[in-house]
Structures are given as C-alpha cells and as structure tokens.
Amino acid sequence: MKKYIIAAVALVIGLTLFSGCASIHTWPDHERSVENKMVTIQEKIGDGLKTGAITLDMSQMYLRTLKTIRADYVELRDKKVSQGKWNNLHARLDVLEEEINRALAKTAKIEEPRNSDRIVTLQQRINDGRISGRLPPPDEEVFQARLDTIRRNYLRMTEEGRSATIDERKDISLQLDSLTTDLNKFR
C-alpha cells in the first residue's frame, strides 16, 4: 500500500515536469494563472495523499481529470484564442479544486500557507500593482522576473518524482519572504 502511495505522489510531482514550465518567463497572464492553478491542484492532491485525506483511488481520479485539463491547456498555450476558452479552463480547474478541497476539509488542520499559495498570491499582487500603476514598469518587470525564477526553482525541486527537502522548501520560503518585503514598499 505504501508503494502505491509513493508512486501516486511521484506521479503528481512528475506531472509538474510536463507542464511546460521552461517558458514561464514569457507567459501571458492567462497562461500563467492557469499554470498556477494546476500547480496548486497537484500540490493539494499530493498533500492529501500524504496525509490520508485523499485515497489512492481518489488521487488517481483527480489526476486523470487534471491530465485532461492539462492536455486542453497545452493545445491553447502560445496560441491566440478567445478569452472564453481560457475562462472555460479556469472554471474546470475551479470545479476540480473544489472537489479536492471538500475531500481535504474532512481532515483539515491549521498549517502555514504553502509556497504554491504564496506564489499565486504574489502573482496577484504584481498584477494588481501593474494594473493600478503602483508598480512602475521597470520594477514590475524585476518583480515578475524574480517570481518567475522562484516558481521555476520550486517546480524543479520536484522533477522526476523527487520530494523537496526541508532546506529547499525553506530556501523558497525565504525568497518569497524577500520578494514580499520588497513588494510591500509599493503599497
């Protein structure tokens, strides 16, 4: 049974490799936001499997659904398509995430925010700063590049089914702390 759980966790992490994260620096916002959601969902599946909140069968079902959505995402990526198609992907990811959240809620416990949640939050802050004009374009580009680098490093930690070490997770957390502190100067 333990081998199956480890294999399923490795599969969740391995899917990260096929998400096309190598071109993350040049992604438009709609592609980046879909990728952020997929990463968050993968992490939730893995966490739920590790804690026992999600069974092996449930994780495989969620992963199949995510794989289908990811295939549709790959078809849309780097193409000019209507916003409706991106909205459809977001809606499908939201439904999947809600199903996972319901499963996780059964064994919810208080934890620090995961690095993936912090990455998504910082991305939203950068986007909001750019839209509102609080972030001058040169600073916004620097912050975006820093966040993209952190995101890529975070995804590399888990490539080939490898679990990130505590030190690696702390390093990412410290980088996110530094970026947060710098972004706070533009409130």
Q: Quick one: 90 and 143 in the same domain?
A: no
More confident residue, 11 or 92: 92
DSSP state of 172: H
Q: Quick one: 104 and 116 in the same domain?
A: no
CB neighbour class for 184 (10 Å; exposed up to 12, middle 13-18, buried from 19): exposed
Q: Quick one: 14 and 100 in the same domain?
A: yes
Q: Quick one: 133 and 121 in the same domain?
A: yes
Host domain of residue 162: 112-187
pLDDT of res. 8 = 60
More confident residue, 93 or 108: 93
Q: Indicate the helix (H) or strand (E) that contains 151.
A: helix 137-156
Q: Which of 52, 79, 108 is the last residue of a domain?
A: 108
What's the token pair of residue 146?
A: 């820093």
Q: Quick one: 121 and 187 in the same domain?
A: yes
How many domains would you assign to the chain?
2
Q: Quick one: 117 and 91 in the same domain?
A: no
Q: Quick one: 78 and 139 in the same domain?
A: no
Q: Quick one: 12 and 98 in the same domain?
A: yes
pLDDT in tens, 5-52: 665 655 556 555 454 443 333 346 777 888 889 889 988 998 888 888
Q: Quick one: 41 and 83 in the same domain?
A: yes
Q: Quick one: 39 and 58 in the same domain?
A: yes
Q: Indicate the helix (H) or strand (E) that contains 71.
A: helix 56-76
pTM listed for this prediction: 0.47
Q: Quick one: 90 and 145 in the same domain?
A: no
